[in-house]
Chains A and B, each alone.
Chain A
Amino acid sequence: MEQLPQQLVNGIWQGAALALFALGFALVFGLLDVVNLAHGATYMWGAFFGLVCVTRLGWPFWAALPGAMVGAGLLAVLLERLAFKPLRTLTTGSLILWGGFLLLLLGLVGFHGGEFQAALVGLGAVLMLLGLVQDYRAARPLLQRSMPYLAPMIASIGASTILISLARGQFGAQVSRFPPDLFPTTPYPLGQAVVIAPIQLLVLAVALVLMIGLHLLIARTRTGRAIRAIAWSERTARLLGINADLVIAQTFFVSGALAGAAGALLGLAFNRIEPTMGTQIELAGLVVIVVGGMSSIGGTVVAAFLVGLLRVLGVAYVDSSFRDALVFALLILVLLARPQGLFGRASSTRA
Chain B
Amino acid sequence: MLGLLLDHISTVDFILLNVALGLSIYLTLAVGLLSLANAGFLAIGAYTAAILTAQAGWPPLAALPLALLLGALVAAPLGLLVLRLQGVYLAIATIGFGEIVRITALNGDKLLRALSGDPRLTVFHGAEGITLPYSSPLPVLGLPVTTWLLLLYALGLVYLLATLQRSRYGRLMVAVRVDSLAADTLGVDAVRCRMLAFVLGAAIAAGAGALSTPVVRVVDPGQYSFGRAVDILAYAVLGGMTTWVGPIVGATVLTALPEMLRPLQEQREVVNGLLLMLSIIYLPRGLADPRLWGGWQRWPAALRDRLAGGTTEPLPAPPQRGPG
Contact = CB atoms under 8 A, between A and B. Distances in A.
B92 A322 contact: no
Interface stretch (B202-210, B263-271, B292-300): B263-271
Interface in B282-324: 282, 284, 314-324
A234 to B, nearest CB: 7
Interface residues of A, number: 58
Contacts of B237: 154
Interface in A268-324: 279, 283, 286-287, 290, 319, 321-322, 324
B223 interface: no
A158 B273 contact: yes
B176 to A, nearest CB: 10
Given A155-B280, A283-B226, A287-B96, A148 B274 contact: no
Contact of A332 (B83, B96, B107): B96
Interface of B, helix, strand, loop or mixed by DSSP: helix
A336 B82 CA distance: 7
Given A165-B273, A232-B324, A332 B318 contact: no
Interface residues of B, number: 56
Nearest to A156: B277
Contacts of B106: 321
A221 interface: no
A351 B81 CA distance: 12
Contact of A105 (B84, B274, B320): B274
A348 interface: yes
A109 B322 contact: no
Nearest to B88: A35
A155 B238 CA distance: 11
Interface in A328-351: 328-329, 331-332, 335-336, 339, 347-351
Contact of B321 (A159, A233, A351): A233
Contact of A286 (B95, B233, B273, B320): B95
A290 B95 CA distance: 12
Nearest to A35: B88
Interface string A156-194: 011111101110110000000000000000000000000
Contacts of A322: 103, 107
A55 interface: no
Given A35-B88, A324-B99, A234 B324 contact: yes
Interface of B: 34, 81-93, 95-97, 99-100, 103-104, 106-107, 110, 180, 226, 230, 233-234, 237, 266-267, 269-270, 272-278, 280-282, 284, 314-324
22 contacts: A35-B92, A102-B274, A109-B270, A148-B314, A148-B316, A150-B34, A151-B280, A154-B234, A154-B276, A160-B273, A162-B269, A164-B269, A165-B269, A233-B320, A233-B322, A322-B103, A328-B99, A332-B81, A339-B85, A348-B321, A349-B85, A351-B84
Interface of A: 29, 33, 35, 82-83, 86-87, 102, 105, 109-110, 146-151, 153-155, 157-162, 164-166, 168-169, 232-236, 279, 283, 286-287, 290, 319, 321-322, 324-325, 328-329, 331-332, 335-336, 339, 347-351
